[in-house]
Amino acid sequence: MRILFLGDVVAEHGREAVRDVVPKLIEEFAPDFIVLNGENVAGGNGITPKLAYDLFRAKVDVITLGDHVWDQREIFSFFAEEPRLIRPFNFPSTCPGKGWIIVNGNGKKLGVVNAMGRTFMKTDVDNPFLLMDPRVPSPRTRLTSKSRLTAPARLQRRIFCIKKTWWKPGLGSSFAESRIGITFRKRERP
């Protein structure tokens, strides 16, 4: 199974890149599914229903969101009509939307679980590592041996990305990091 992950698409220039480049990537690599992090497509502040539909028209199968999910108010009610837009699963269960989905295409199934880390984050979410076990059986029960379960995660530090891949062997087929926040120190010139 071929999965194309597109990380943190930001603002109009990012949306234009998706519209321009994704058809070429589809032609060259023939992905079975396309998963995109869309939490910053509305000028770096969340996503709107119109922008989500634009990305779905560009052949994106699933849009994952992160801490900017609630920046655009009209997105609250949109979760009820568009299941392919998923928020982090470790948000409180009272929040609109789901944190996982199973999509079908090309005779295959893909389970996507979206998680958000807590390090350096202002959003108060549950620990994704502690929550993963009870949440995974639900999408897993709908997958076959020819299916894949993937977990895009917005984890703020590389150590969490590494820990996630070692943390629970056999939990998923792949893990993808859509955004790793790394602090760079400006180098002084001699």
Catalytic residue among 68, 109, 164, 179: 68
DSSP letter string over 88-123? -TTS-TTSSS-SEEEEEETTEEEEEE-EE--TT-SS
User: Could you tell me the two tokens for 19?
Assistant: 């519209």
39 Cβ contact list (under 8 Å, min separation 6): 8, 46, 47, 64, 65, 66, 67, 68, 69, 154
- Whether 13 is catalytic is no
Count of beta carbons in the 10 Å neighbourhood of residue 159: 11
User: Could you tell me the two tokens for 2?
Assistant: 């071929």
CA of 177: how far to CAs of 59, 87, 127, in Å? 21, 15, 17
Rounded to an integer, what is the distance from CA 121 to the centroid of its chain? 17
Active site residues: 68
